[in-house]
């Protein structure tokens, strides 16, 4: 988890000293941030458009495993999880708050690592850290981040706007994060048997990075602005492609056809799935944490996105209410099943 032997107990700083220490290097990017960290509440001055707010909770042992998740990567990823939700509304994130609960096994230097990842995410995506909280925990590390963003009312994209015949489009490629998780879990078990064995992850670098350090798709929102496209509906792929498709169809009261041969995959994802004796389509359809954007695009906008390297049309929506079918490479139509991440299921873990 953290191997720095010269460690500082958190008790030496106290709560407010800890907050000051961890956040003193964070810059401010937005004029809407009127008052950030240092008072009872942050003050934001939004004068244009609508404000969006989202929050996510990450719990050690449920959402992340510190035996292979570096703290700096965890800090970065915890921000991406939230920014992705703002981008999924076709909006731009502007501020975040960060709250953590830590057990006494975490020294100051460990939290510095965590916040260095949060700091890097804020700088890369031009987001202001404006507040948060710290507390003690008896069960490990808990992270809660709230993100705020802005968009013009007419540009905000919801899940319920799909129309029959809309194109089903996804950004990037799928399944990489899921296969990265399989690799890390396998190497963890090998390490338990032989702690002297150091894993060689070079062959899986892309998949492992997709799991440990995902990127929110800010570039897709900028692309929409450039192409003058407003999706009819959109959602981020955090719980698995099939699950997200069902969300769009349920909220919009439509069905869809998804074409298996159109699902975008990085070659490393496919080869890793083969190594694990897994059908790559299983990873593409059900693996979560890719944080790509899944959207409904009007048919008249097809020429704008046709052949674009960042976007892939993988199907279309139908009038059949919540009837979703996967069209296989052999042309067979089979019911699409959602087998992605589900909170509160028995034995749930990342």
Domain boundaries, the chain: 10-155, 167-335
pLDDT band at residue 123 under the 50/70/90 scheme: very high
pLDDT in tens, 127-173: 999 988 889 998 899 999 999 999 898 999 999 999 999 999 999 99
Residue 212 · residue 70 · CB < 8 Å: yes
CA distances from 69 to 51, 146, 214, 337 (A): 33, 21, 13, 30
- How large is the average pLDDT for residues 182-186? 96
Mean pLDDT of 36-45: 60
Question: What phi-psi label fits residue 344: left (phi over 0), alpha (psi between -120 and 50 degrees) or beta?
Answer: left
Helical axes 71-87 vs 218-227, angle rounded to 10°:
30
Query: Taking the domain 167-335, which CATH number applies?
Result: 3.90.650.10
Reported as a single tens digit per residue, the pLDDT across 328-344 is: 989 999 999 877 555 54
Per residue in 248-263, pLDDT (tens digit) is 999 999 999 999 999 9
pLDDT at residue 344 in the model: 42
CATH annotation of 10-155: 3.30.1330.10
Confidence bin at 16 (pLDDT 50/70/90): low
0.85 exceeded by the pTM?
Answer: yes
CA-closest candidate to residue 24, choices 8, 32, 11, 13: 13
| Residue 11, SS3 per DSSP | helix
Q: ∠ CA 178-71-218 to the nearest 5 degrees?
A: 60
What integer pLDDT is reported at residue 11 of this predicted model?
72
**Structure confidence at residue 15 as a pLDDT band (50, 70, 90):** low
Residue 349, pLDDT score: 40
Q: Are 256 and 317 in contact (CB under 8 A)?
A: yes
Name every residue whose Cβ is closer than 8 Å to that of residue 131 and which is 6 or more positions away in sequence. 36, 37, 41, 42, 97
Please give the distance of CA 315 from its chain centroid, rounded to a whole number.
Answer: 23
Q: Averaged over 273-286, what is the pLDDT?
A: 95
In terms of Cα–Cα distance, which of 272, 183, 269 is closest to 191?
A: 183
- Cα 152 to chain centroid distance, Å, stands at 23
Please give the Cα distance from 139 to 129 (Å, whole number): 26
pLDDT over 90 at 8, yes or no = no
Rounded CA-CA distance 176/268 in Å is: 8
Q: Which residue has the tokens 């953290």?
A: 2
Residue labelled with tokens 């956040």: 23
347 has pLDDT over 70? no
How does pLDDT run across 60-88, given as a tens digit for each residue? 999 999 999 999 999 999 999 999 999 99
């Amino acid at each position: 988890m953290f191997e720095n032997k010269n460690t500082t107990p958190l008790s030496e700083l106290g709560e407010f000293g800890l907050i000051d220490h961890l956040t003193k290097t964070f810059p401010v990017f937005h004029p809407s941030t009127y008052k950030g960290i240092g008072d009872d509440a942050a003050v934001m001055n939004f004068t244009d458009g609508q404000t969006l707010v989202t929050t996510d909770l990450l719990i050690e042992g449920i959402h992340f495993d510190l035996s292979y998740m570096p703290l700096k990567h965890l800090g970065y990823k915890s921000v991406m999880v939230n920014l992705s939700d703002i981008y999924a509304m076709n909006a731009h994130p502007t501020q975040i708050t960060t709250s953590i609960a830590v057990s006494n096994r975490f020294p100051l230097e460990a939290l510095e690592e965590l916040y260095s990842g949060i700091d890097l995410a804020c700088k890369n995506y031009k987001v202001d850290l404006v507040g948060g909280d710290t507390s003690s925990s008896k069960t490990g590390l808990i992270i809660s981040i709230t993100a705020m963003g802005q968009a013009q009312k007419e540009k905000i994209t919801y899940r319920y706007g799909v129309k029959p015949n809309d194109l089903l489009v996804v950004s990037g490629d799928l399944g990489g994060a899921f296969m990265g998780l399989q690799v890390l879990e396998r190497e963890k078990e090998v390490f338990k048997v032989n702690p002297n064995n150091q894993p060689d992850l070079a062959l899986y670098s892309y998949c492992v990075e997709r799991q440990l350090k995902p990127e929110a798709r800010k570039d897709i929102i900028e692309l929409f602005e450039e192409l003058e496209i407003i999706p009819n509906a959109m959602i981020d792929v955090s719980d698995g492609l099939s699950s997200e498709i069902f969300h769009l169809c349920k909220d919009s009261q439509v069905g869809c056809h998804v074409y298996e041969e159109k699902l975008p995959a990085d070659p490393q994802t496919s080869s890793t799935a083969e190594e694990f004796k897994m059908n790559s389509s299983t990873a593409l359809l059900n693996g979560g944490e890719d944080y790509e954007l899944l959207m409904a695009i009007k048919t008249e906008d097809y020429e704008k996105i046709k052949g674009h390297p960042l976007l892939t049309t993988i199907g279309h929506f139908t009038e059949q209410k919540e009837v979703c079918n996967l069209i296989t490479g052999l042309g067979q139509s089979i019911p699409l099943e959602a087998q992605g991440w589900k909170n509160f299921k028995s034995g749930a873990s990342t």
